[in-house]
Chain A
Amino acid sequence: MSEVDPITAQVVREYLESVSKEMSSVVERTAVHPLFNECHDYSTGVFHRRDSVSLVARATAIPVHIFASLKSVEAMLDYFGDGLADGDVVILNDPFFGGTHNADWTVMKPIFLEGGGMLCPAVRAHMADSGGPVAGNYNPDAREVWQEAFRIPPVKIVEAGRLREDVRATILANTRIPETLDGDLRAMMAAVEIGEQRIRELCERYGDRVVEACVDEALNYSERRFRSEIASWPKGRTIGVWHLDHDSAGTHDIRIQATLEVSESGLKVDFEGSSPQTPGFVNSTEGNTASWVYTALCAALSDDIPINSGLFRVVDIQTPLGSVVNPVPPAATMSATGRVGSEVGLSVMKALEQIVPERSGNVSYGGSLCTTYGVDPRYDEFFVTIEYGSNLVSASAAFGTDGWGGWPAPFSTLVFNTIEMLEIQFPYRYHRYEYTTDTAAPGRWRGVPAFAMEREAVTEQYVNAIVVGVRHVAPGWAGGEPGIPNEITLATGSPDERAVVETVTRAPLKAGQVMTSLRSGGGGFGDPLERDPDAVRADVLDEIYTREAAKRAFAVVIDPATMDIDTEATRALRVERRNTSQTAIMEATT
């Protein structure tokens, strides 16, 4: 491959990042279901294949998608071999053909280059309904992938530039909302079309060989950045362990163990010691597991390293076959993009915490989930939606910053729908959607307060809900405290009131009944006794903590009359607390 000057390489790399952004812009503005355009539950990227398949560029979006898209492109090439040509568009959703769960679909458009290389723009997105027994596809009763949704292995939806109506019809026959799905699919196809146009313009300008050399350099660049970042990390081996509460099928305390080895040659993450695959729908395919490893690493790293395969090749991931982090078919996987995925991220982050504590913090998604469906009499229409607001999850504290907002950074590209739009689109009425007092996890920097939601069913509707983070609550970091347990209650305040214990499916809410949820705000970071007393006072004034809680958790004493800090009392109390904990440590070690 010809040498290319570094400036041209940089220009081409940034161009491809810009192509990903343009594709993302097309999807956002053209898709139909609110999951795309209000919530941004999709991702775009550009891939390259010569000897192996690489992610070259991606637009800011859901990390779990774009890493999995790499596996999708590999699966497409494995499946079709030489049977692909310019003008083809391939789709897939099968977890065991380069997928994660079959609600996420990948649309890919290969572009063949002189000399056998290939560039491929791709979009991966969460489709609102992909058939199967349960609307929205989260089926806790599933024990096999067939009980979750319609499986689509790699298939050409466009061949030689012509839409295959037979394939389209098959797909649309297998969803509850064909019109919506058709619109969403078209949006994804329009995006890869724009991606192709832009890539062809690039190749025309520089020539295929130069573009490929630039792609190599783009990967080398990220690799160099990543290596330079970890060069200062202590070398050695640490073990991070996290557990998932349950798999909705009777298995509890599912263990994820990540052994992280930092050496001169890079990072190795080995999941030996993790639980075997489970009967429930939480099994994380290899692509999903890798996604979450990178999600944790990227959260720990500096934000401006272009995320591509150059970074991935510094990391060696080992996943035991038949384990919950690399299951064999026909394992059910639908829930794994959140849970076990989140636990994979947490276990890696817990291992990182021991090496670079100041880089650690929440990569958790919280795993709880709630899908609602029914018929909206205002429009005489069936509706089904994941309402992310009812799953608002923890943004933990991190070094130098309190937790804030909704989801933790790696998921913050997912935007909530608004109350007003939700009430127009779905038969919901919200009574509460805000933070609660005395629920933020203490630390030198505190977590975000827990979030309370109260939603009334305007007409009869059905809820599928899963609650986790109860047996194993959102962890604290570097000495910070953990968050509170999650809760969902159905028909709150009525004779039908019942708390969701782990899992419910098809649970009816009568018209006028209320569903309430309380979501943990993630862990704190660092020792609460080191929190700036002024920050504690500000939190008391903001009703994030009561005075009592401030004293209990932070040993900060606030005068109820003036609301000023009692400096003397605070100092004395903090000394006493430190002595007590010191004594406790001494006792424990002797």
Chain B
Amino acid sequence: MSGYVIGVDVGGTFTDLVCVGEAGDVLTAKVPSTPADQGIGVLSGIANLADRAAVSVEDLLARTKMIVHGTTVATNTMIEWSGAHTYLLTTRGFRDLIDIRRNYKEAAFDIRLKAPYPIVPRRRRIPITERITETGAVLTPLAEEEVRAAARRLADEGAQAVAICFLFSFLAPEHELRAREIIHEVLPSIHVSLSHEVLPKIREFERLSTTIVDAYVTPKLRGYLTNLERTLAERGYAGDFFIMRSNGGVVDVGRAAESGVQLVASGPAGGVVAASSIGAAVSDRNLLTIDMGGTSADVSLIRDGTPSVSMDSWFSRYRVAVPLVDVTSVGAGGGSIAWIDDGGALRIGPASAGSYPGPACYGRGGTAATVTDANLILGYIGADSFLGGAMALDVEGARRALQAGIADPLGVGVEEAAAAIVRIVNHNMANALRVISIEKGYDVRDFSLMAFGGGGPLHAAALVQELRVRRILVPRGHASVLCALGDVLADIRESRSRGYYARSETVDLPALAQAVTTMVDEADALMGEQARNLRRVVECALEMRYKGQTHEVAVPIGSGLEPTPERWAEVLADFDRLHAQRFSYSRPGAEIEIVGLQVDRFALRAKPEMNGLGRTSQATATSERPVHFPTAAGYVPTPIYSGVELGLGFTARGPLVIEEANTSVVVMPGQRVSLVAGNVYIIEDDR
């Protein structure tokens, strides 16, 4: 058995696969996704890989030691509202917190905004008499007979899942645990999500919402993963099967199936993980990333080689407070439609032409002007080289769409209209990148920009000017399957967090240190077989804030806390420093609150060496076409290179375009591109 590792990422349109052999040989495949059962697409992708390797599926699977899967099953369940018939048990007197949602509404002035989809309508929210106080003491014991009556009602009404969220359960879980026991006495196999297990942290609304989402998506996700695992086994697969979670780490399939809410951002996490790994290979550890696909562009931030993971996310209008690789969608993808509003402004999206009929240039009857049409008119995309030449694009159709939709209303030429569309798209991305940076207290100028997805490499070059980032990186050969590559590269990871309240001046250090150690042990216990032989590291952090603040800073404390006053003084000083960096001020000596603990346990997987594919560093352009650049006066004759021809050491001055599988890398006049070790194009100012 040789050691293939296969990464499979299921997206909305395509299922992408990357297969890396022990010798560093890399195969990729892109097949249509099969939304009804994503597993069919996964299998057909594996068949496609087998074809390319000229072996049978069984042979390929027999030679594979690990499959890592990024799935959108949980994501889609929350978009299509196709999850379990879910109930809630909650503390009596607090039945409507999920509707009140701390009063948050998505649109500040829109009095006609509708309520979110009710996963658990009021009739299925069952109040239970019980109460725990803010110290974790039991004020009112659990009314067990009420839970038992609820369980019987669940049985009568065909419940498929139940969320249990009691106040302060993160301090004293006994009521939630006992309630689950009682429910399982009546309904032994029903899925139960307990809030203190899903998110053992303070703030009942965040915990409640996250737990409801978990209860809603987990049964379906578990069914999918179990099926897929069985199908693979039937085809003879005996290797490890891992799943990418939203935090950018992978876990064994059995563990992944326990908690669906941990997978709502499974897909995009892969791309960000791959970006951080590729960036590190060329010593760029501070990265902004743009993943531009057909319907949206996602941006994220990587600091010091570590993707920004946030617990502040909303998903399908539900608060999901588990760690998610922090990806912000900025709306515009290749298929996004450009239009003129009644104030005369050029707007992009949110409507999209989708993949059918698609942009006007697809020639399938689409008449709306899209971003892709603009890119074609400007020469960034070649009419004859789209999807490797598999699909000829209709330039005239694109021009007609822009003429009617944009150029005429604005009173400008078609080229100017196309340039305007691209400029607005770039600006929206630049603004989003600035906002995600400042939210963390960083300056974009300290970052490089990594562009991937079908559209990222088309737009990145122009963003250098907007943002003054250091330089641009484009992963060569894999830009359009980067999420699948991330599945191959990601480490095994267990993130644990819990609430822990103390104040800096009165903290019991030995107790705090012990709490951290206990969490590390818990994370270890969850890691399972595969992690045993791998090198393991742990990163612990204390969530701290100045007294009275309510947003915390995670202060890294390494592998644990040494309970000495000297070490504690260092931790407090670290907090002051991090606070100043993020928030531009600190208050040394002010009292600090500790509100939570975080433990990230990693088992480090060997990173496969991947061979470069190109042939020569002396490649010449394969053709030439006019391309429009904002910094030049209109169109410039521009050499076009074929990416597969290029070898390490290739370097050339812009303007030029490198055509890659499913995308193009645009290099503007005044820039230089080099293909460097690590298989990365680097675009820099050529001064």
Assess the B427–A11 pair: CB atoms within 8 A.
yes
Residues of A within 8 A of B114 (CB): 400-401, 404
Q: Given the known A-B contacts A224-B344, A412-B103, are A32 and B549 also in contact in the complex, defined by CB atoms under 8 Å?
A: yes
Q: Is B670 an interface residue (CB 8 A)?
A: no
Q: Is B202 an interface residue (CB 8 A)?
A: yes
Residues of B93-113 at the interface with A, using a CB-CB cut-off of 8 Å, are 93-97, 99-105, 107-113
Q: Which 5 A-B pairs have the closest CB atoms?
A: A406-B103, A412-B105, A225-B343, A542-B122, A404-B115
**Contacting residue for A434 out of B94, B105, B346, B424, CB 8 A:** B94
Residues of A within 8 A of B587 (CB): 183
Distance of A240 Cα from B420 Cα, bound (Å): 45
Assess the A11–B424 pair: CB atoms within 8 A.
yes
Residue on B nearest A445 in the bound complex, by CB? B112
* Total chain A interface residues with beta-carbon distance under 8 A: 92
Distance of A421 Cα from B549 Cα, bound (Å): 11
**Contacting residue for A420 out of B108, B204, B551, B590, CB 8 A:** B204
Distance of A420 Cα from B42 Cα, bound (Å): 44
**Contacting residue for B133 out of A32, A190, A392, A429, CB 8 A:** A429
Q: Is A221 an interface residue (CB 8 A)?
A: yes
Q: Given the known A-B contacts A10-B424, A14-B431, A416-B102, are A409 and B582 also in contact in the complex, defined by CB atoms under 8 Å?
A: no
Assess the A541–B102 pair: CB atoms within 8 A.
no
Q: Is B423 an interface residue (CB 8 A)?
A: yes
Q: Is B31 an interface residue (CB 8 A)?
A: no
Assess the A14–B205 pair: CB atoms within 8 A.
no
Could you jot down 5 A-B contacts, CB within 8 Å?
A: A14-B431, A29-B441, A409-B105, A412-B108, A417-B550
Assess the B424–A408 pair: CB atoms within 8 A.
no
Residues of B within 8 A of A550 (CB): none
Q: Which of B280-288, B432-440, B634-642 forms part of the interface with chain A?
A: B432-440
Which residues on B are within 8 Å of A, measured CB to CB? 93-97, 99-105, 107-115, 121-123, 133-134, 139, 167-168, 202-206, 341-346, 410, 420, 423-424, 427-428, 431, 434-435, 438-439, 441, 501, 546, 548-551, 582-585, 587, 590
Residues of B within 8 A of A61 (CB): 108
Most chain-B Cβ atoms within 10 A of its Cβ — which of A17, A400, A402, A416? A416
Q: Given the known A-B contacts A408-B111, A420-B202, are A29 and B103 also in contact in the complex, defined by CB atoms under 8 Å?
A: no
Residues of A within 8 A of B101 (CB): 405-406
Residues of B within 8 A of A462 (CB): none
Residue on B nearest A425 in the bound complex, by CB? B548
- A526 CB, nearest partner CB in chain B, Å: 13
Distance of A430 Cα from B91 Cα, bound (Å): 11
Distance of A194 Cα from B410 Cα, bound (Å): 34
Assess the A398–B112 pair: CB atoms within 8 A.
yes
Which residues on A are within 8 Å of B, measured CB to CB? 6-7, 10-11, 14-15, 17-18, 21-22, 25-26, 28-34, 37-38, 60-61, 63, 179-180, 183, 186-187, 190, 193-194, 198, 221-222, 224-225, 228-229, 295, 298-299, 301, 303, 305, 307, 361-363, 388, 392, 396, 398-402, 404-421, 423-425, 429-435, 451, 454, 538, 541-544
Assess the A421–B550 pair: CB atoms within 8 A.
yes
Q: Given the known A-B contacts A15-B427, A419-B204, are A409 and B585 also in contact in the complex, defined by CB atoms under 8 Å?
A: no
- B301 CB, nearest partner CB in chain A, Å: 13
- B431 CB, nearest partner CB in chain A, Å: 4
Residue on B nearest A453 in the bound complex, by CB? B93
Q: Given the known A-B contacts A7-B420, A419-B167, are A26 and B583 also in contact in the complex, defined by CB atoms under 8 Å?
A: yes
- B673 CB, nearest partner CB in chain A, Å: 24
Assess the B111–A180 pair: CB atoms within 8 A.
no
Q: Given the known A-B contacts A14-B431, A400-B112, are A29 and B346 also in contact in the complex, defined by CB atoms under 8 Å?
A: no
Distance of A414 Cα from B101 Cα, bound (Å): 12
Assess the A405–B585 pair: CB atoms within 8 A.
no
Assess the A410–B549 pair: CB atoms within 8 A.
no
Assess the A401–B113 pair: CB atoms within 8 A.
yes
Residues of A within 8 A of B501 (CB): 424
Residues of B within 8 A of A299 (CB): 109-111
Residues of B within 8 A of A396 (CB): 111
Assess the B112–A361 pair: CB atoms within 8 A.
yes
Assess the A433–B342 pair: CB atoms within 8 A.
no
Distance of A538 Cα from B124 Cα, bound (Å): 12
Assess the A544–B438 pair: CB atoms within 8 A.
no
Assess the B585–A190 pair: CB atoms within 8 A.
yes
Residue on A nearest B125 in the bound complex, by CB? A542
Distance of A425 Cα from B134 Cα, bound (Å): 10
Residues of A within 8 A of B167 (CB): 419-420
Residues of A within 8 A of B99 (CB): 404-405, 435
- B317 CB, nearest partner CB in chain A, Å: 11
- A6 CB, nearest partner CB in chain B, Å: 7
**Contacting residue for A424 out of B105, B134, B344, B438, CB 8 A:** B134
Distance of A312 Cα from B202 Cα, bound (Å): 43
Residues of A within 8 A of B110 (CB): 299, 303, 409
Assess the B107–A180 pair: CB atoms within 8 A.
no
Assess the B435–A25 pair: CB atoms within 8 A.
yes
Assess the B104–A415 pair: CB atoms within 8 A.
yes
Distance of A17 Cα from B546 Cα, bound (Å): 30
Residue on A nearest B122 in the bound complex, by CB? A542
**Contacting residue for A454 out of B93, B107, B204, B341, CB 8 A:** B93
Distance of A179 Cα from B206 Cα, bound (Å): 29
Q: Given the known A-B contacts A10-B345, A221-B345, are A398 and B111 also in contact in the complex, defined by CB atoms under 8 Å?
A: yes
Distance of A208 Cα from B299 Cα, bound (Å): 30
Distance of A15 Cα from B103 Cα, bound (Å): 28
- A294 CB, nearest partner CB in chain B, Å: 10
Assess the B93–A433 pair: CB atoms within 8 A.
yes
- A74 CB, nearest partner CB in chain B, Å: 24
Distance of A401 Cα from B115 Cα, bound (Å): 8
- B249 CB, nearest partner CB in chain A, Å: 26
Residue on A nearest B433 in the bound complex, by CB? A18
Distance of A432 Cα from B202 Cα, bound (Å): 18
